[in-house]
Structure 1
Amino acid sequence: MPALISDEQTERDRQSLLDAAEVLLYAKGIQAVGMDEIRAEAGLALKRIYALYASKEELVVGMLRRRDIRWRADLAEYVERATDPRQRVLAVFDWLHQWFCQPGFRGCAWVNAHGELGASSEAIATEVSAHKAAFHDQIAAWVAATNPSACEGVHLLAEGAIVSAGITNDPDVALRARSAAEALLAAAGHPAGMTQA
């Protein structure tokens, strides 16, 4: 009779598998990486992998879900160091710039996943939509504290910077988006022809 695997070992195996999947799938693309390559990177038998995730699609969803939690938590930790509401919004773009400058930056993992499989995998499309909605709401909460009418514009600037940096490999798009967000925060709520008192 095979030895029982403890909950602790199962969690260690799951994290090792997700680590391996994230490194490989983000660097090379989902369709370019086979399960054998993930198995070798994780150091787990295929049987063990499929006991944790029944399919590659489930593994991708699990990887994206874990990355979302970490990614948005890192963003929040950085942004919320600022005490001034306007500086918090601008800190979003400072954090994005730091991310874009990291070695191995390859754009947005969720946009990449959607581009590869969003049309053919409802589970992946749903996970991507959940991340994008959560990111929108996160930005909207920070913007609402300074100028609610700028929420959509600032969100689009952040998303645009992420996509542009992924395509052009130019991290400074975050700084240009920051300047645009600063102007938007100053102008929003002041219709043309009206001036501040």
Structure 2
Amino acid sequence: MKGSIIIVSFFIAGVLIGKFVNVPSLLTAEEPTLYALYALMFFVGISIGSDKKALEALKHQNFKIILVPLATIIGTLAGSALISVILSGKSLTDCLAVGSGFGYYSLSTIFITQYKGAELGTIALVSNILRELIALLAAPLLVRYFGKLAPISVGGATTADTTLPIITKFCGKEFVIISIVHGILVDLSVPFLVTFFCTI
């Protein structure tokens, strides 16, 4: 939760500075955002590649474990498509791009802002932070009413890191491997799906 608050604080600070301070045009050009995106993708790759436990856990699981992230991705995209019917002014692809963030607000927000503009990028940021907060705050209720896989699915891409302690606490240690594998696979889908929905 602390990480979410820090991210939102930086975002709000950026909005306020952009609004009230005369920012040099170099900082508002597309190039710095694109280079930040490249750097972020590089560090995400390092993070996944250096996590020996997660990669080892992935090797020892059978095919069935892939059904959990697959269900999360399909369910999220179906929900996003349904929301697009209700929301006026947002296309199906816009809603699918936002949903494809799966809680990975830092990466998906940069991608969506780059391709679709700051408004949809802001919606993506808020949507993905809310997803993480719901997983953190509602985990006991999700377990009680929907089962032990529910917080993992709701957590989306965050289940390998920020929401893992909560999932371990309320779902049990036997769900840690499922949670980590789920987080890694959903994480990996984010850049591909967000880019796909932003460019079609």
* Greater helix fraction, Structure 1 or Structure 2: 2
Taking structure 2 as the reference length, what is the TM-score of the superposition? 0.26
Taking structure 1 as the reference length, what is the TM-score of the superposition? 0.27
